[in-house]
Chains A and B, each alone.
Chain A
Amino acid sequence: MSSLYRNSLALLLAVAALSACEREERQSRGKPLGETVPASVSPDTIFPQTGKLPPLHPRAAAYERNASAIAEGQRLYSWMNCAGCHSHGGGGMGVALMDGKWRYGGRIDQIVASIAEGRPNGMPAWRDRLTEQQMWQIAAYVRTLSGQAPKDAVSARTDEMSGTPPATQTRREPTRPADSDQQ
């Protein structure tokens, strides 16, 4: 075939291949009927039945690696006054979220449960104030404060004066349970 024909074909194939590069799916609606917080996700504790924490819900991956979910979570973190108690991860009235110490569990579904149910030492219960999708988005953002999210999904800057290093440079904290005698 002529070189023109060959080159055009190559170009067409390249364009077709690249158009399949869909980075992620952006869920604006969050499937209202099927989206529920997993019932009673326990903090890290003793499980006499199975000996380990129940497996992670498959939905978790959709939020943890999703840049738009993390960005929405970042916005909601400020709007819902999470920053008022937890600052930009350092804590204050609330515990620090950037140090990898988790009193009630640091897995994303455990964080969602903490947000939804509230916790005894003053964490408010948001179940009726936020939709489930919003809580998953906030939990995805909270995980980035200790570096748990992939670096290509986090936002590179905050929208306000914070002083912490950008999320793309936050080292991943090893997750450790906090002192439970502080209850």
Chain B
Amino acid sequence: MNRRIAAVAIAGALLASCNGVQNVMGGDGAESANFIRLFTLFMVLCTIMYLIVVAALLAALWRRRRSGLTVDDRRHHQISPIVRPALIAWTALVVTGLTVLTVASFFIDRSNAATASKPAIHMTVTANQWWWDVEYNLPDVSKTLRTANEIHLPVNVPVHVTLKSNDVIHSFWIPNLAGKQDLIPGRLTDVLLLARKTGLYRGQCAEFCGVQHAQMALDVTVESKRDFERWYSAQLATAKPPATPLQRAGYRYFTTRECAACHNISGTPASGQVAPDLTHLASRRSIAAGALPMNKGNLYGWVADPQSQKPGNHMPTVGLEPNELHGLIAYLETLK
């Protein structure tokens, strides 16, 4: 009795993690919804087949016990009258079942391909160890937007994402929206995202890519078209100049010292291209590719010693003086 309760409790706990922001069964995107439909159909059909097979097995065992047939029995050639119709029925069931599954697969694939042929927005995601470089490519190149570790999508709009990698093989996976697609250095792959439900989701790297593969996540926000456009134009704006003396000190440090060698803040002399774009850092939900939620304490901890949070990642521990750190965080928090 106790063991059963324990089993149910464990199952419940496990299943509870199967909902929320990173949920394979979420079905919030067109492709994942299709996947769930197919998955459910397969599960149901295969469960029915499984139960029938188990029933037949039990029946066979039961009948054997009862009839007591032995190998020596001359009458073992005699077949039970139920076998023939049962076999015919079973074959028919299998054929029908497989046909249904094949046809369902075909239609689901076609549905996925249909959405993939008419993308409205184009994006490029370049994977690096261990962060995501996100770029929105509009036909007007002067409205290109570059950000890092987060994606905003308008709901019900097909978005085509071209995937590249700057170093090793990664994999792009937003379970709620679509399946995995590898990012391979030297090649271009792509994925089509069509979000059906607004909300906050989480994606992550799904191909082992080095020591911090586990902390390479992506914040995905699906919102209405209007909210998306508002977010986009806010992101296109260059960074506001620092206002208070502390922010100015931080700005001075950022642009003249180690930070600007790698990071870019549009509208300032800092134009490094090899690390996440920080122009609107303070508007993001998390830092360090989803490793830490965005708040003042985490910003302090991350900037002071990134190697303690994500050992082995490419941002060095600089050894900042306290005043330098205060100035930097004050400035970074203005980057909304």
Contacts and interface: CB of A to CB of B under 8 A. Distances in A.
A and B touch in the complex (CB under 8 A): yes
Contact of B262 (A33, A35, A79, A159): A79
Interface in B278-310: 305, 307-308
A177 to B, nearest CB: 30
B314 interface: yes
Nearest to B259: A129
A159 B167 contact: yes
How many interface residues does chain B have, given as a range?
Answer: 10 to 19
A75 B256 CA distance: 22
Given A128-B256, A131-B258, A131-B318, A79 B308 contact: no
A130 interface: yes
Contacts of B267: none
Contacts of B167: 159
Interface in A15-50: 26, 28-30, 32-33, 35
Given A79-B274, A128-B256, A159-B167, A30 B261 contact: no
Nearest to B262: A79
B258 A29 contact: no
A33 B258 contact: no
B258 A28 contact: no
A131 B261 contact: no
Nearest to A34: B319
Nearest to B316: A131
Interface string B255-267: 0111011100000
Contacts of B256: 128
13 contacts: A28-B312, A29-B305, A29-B311, A30-B317, A79-B262, A80-B261, A128-B256, A128-B257, A128-B258, A131-B316, A131-B317, A131-B318, A131-B319
> Ordered nearest first, which 6 A-B pairs have the shortest CB separation?
A32-B319, A29-B307, A28-B311, A131-B316, A129-B261, A28-B307
Interface of A: 26, 28-30, 32-33, 35, 75, 79-80, 128-131, 133-134, 159
Given A32-B317, A129-B261, 12 more contacts: A29-B305, A29-B307, A30-B316, A30-B317, A32-B318, A32-B319, A35-B319, A80-B261, A129-B258, A129-B260, A131-B316, A159-B167
